[in-house]
């Protein structure tokens, strides 16, 4: 069995120096099947008048969009500001034919009932643009619903699939058994990254410590085996933020991302 059990995608943050068109080409040339766009890249492309050209590039590269990343801070923004921001993002996604948007909780502390009501309303507004939502589990303790069980509860209550991120699984000290207990339908996307842990507690690592698979100290194989146990067979998107990648050529970084992710997945699948 090959790593095709998990089709691979590239998050635009991993090659942050690339614009939308060059990012798509770098992802295609590296071997990825999907590309996860981020809001600034789409907005900049539109401002420069390259939207139509980027959609042609998407077709020519034979890539598919992953969800637009991301509507941030949904539980900390005032409702009027949130809905205005969401309208802009859903409209942007619609214009680029991106059919899903990731929502990120932020640091608010709503009740489950209030969180569900807000997410349901956002979903309703997204559908008006042909957009569905995914809920990203964020493991930082200052954020809303910072355990896997809490995130799953609020996402399921609103009818949204989860985005699982190996970094946030680590930060939240989530045991693989808890991941394996999820159903495959509960997971809509997996973000894949390692992290530099030497001299740090796992709870003390930050987004800037996120590196390509095999470059850090996270138990990625354990997490991926647990995700396999759920029968999830959707895409993994390589998403890293360490500033060193800004120094590299996006095409080279994309190639390394694909090689290291593929190597990890092949090893994991052989052991299952």
Summarised one tens digit per residue, pLDDT across range 118-175 is: 999 999 999 999 999 999 999 999 999 999 999 999 999 999 999 999 999 999 999 9
211-247, pLDDT tens digit by residue?
999 999 999 999 999 999 999 999 999 999 999 999 9
* C-alpha to C-alpha distance for 106 and 231, rounded to whole angstroms: 29
26-58, pLDDT tens digit by residue?
999 999 999 999 999 999 999 999 999 999 999
What pTM was computed for the model? Answer: 0.96
For residue 19, what pLDDT is reported? 97
Contacts 24+ apart (CB under 8 A), 223-227: 223/166, 223/169, 223/170, 223/176, 223/179, 224/6, 224/166, 224/264, 224/265, 224/268, 225/176, 225/268, 225/271, 225/272, 226/176, 226/177, 226/179, 226/180, 227/164, 227/179, 227/180, 227/187, 227/190
Q: What is the DSSP letter of 145?
A: S
Interacting residues of 145 by C-beta distance below 8 A, sequence separation 6+ = 105, 115, 137, 151, 153, 154
For residue 3, what pLDDT is reported? 54
């Amino acid at each position: 069995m090959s790593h095709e059990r998990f089709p691979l995608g590239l998050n635009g943050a991993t090659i942050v120096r690339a614009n939308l068109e060059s990012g798509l080409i770098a992802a295609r040339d590296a071997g990825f099947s999907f590309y996860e766009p981020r809001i600034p890249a789409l907005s900049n492309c539109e401002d420069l008048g390259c939207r139509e050209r980027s959609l042609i590039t998407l077709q020519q590269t034979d890539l598919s969009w992953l969800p637009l990343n991301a509507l941030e801070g949904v539980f900390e923004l005032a409702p009027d500001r949130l809905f205005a921001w969401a309208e802009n993002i859903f409209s942007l996604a619609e214009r680029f034919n991106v059919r899903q948007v990731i929502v990120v909780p932020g640091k608010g502390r709503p009740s489950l009932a209030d969180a569900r009501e807000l997410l349901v309303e956002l979903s309703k507004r997204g559908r008006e643009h042909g957009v569905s939502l995914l809920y990203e589990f964020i493991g930082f303790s200052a954020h809303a619903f910072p355990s896997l069980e809490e995130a799953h509860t609020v996402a399921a209550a609103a009818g949204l699939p989860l985005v699982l991120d190996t970094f946030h699984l680590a930060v939240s000290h989530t045991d693989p058994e808890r991941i394996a207990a999820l159903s495959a339908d509960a997971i809509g996307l997996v973000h894949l990254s390692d992290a530099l842990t030497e001299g740090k507690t796992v709870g003390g690592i930050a987004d800037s410590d996120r590196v390509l698979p095999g470059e850090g100290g996270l138990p990625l194989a354990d997490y991926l085996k647990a995700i396999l146990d759920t029968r999830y067979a959707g895409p993994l998107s390589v998403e890293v933020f360490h500033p060193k990648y800004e120094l590299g050529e996006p095409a080279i970084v994309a190639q390394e991302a694909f090689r290291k992710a593929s190597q990890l997945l092949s090893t994991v699948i052989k052991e299952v």
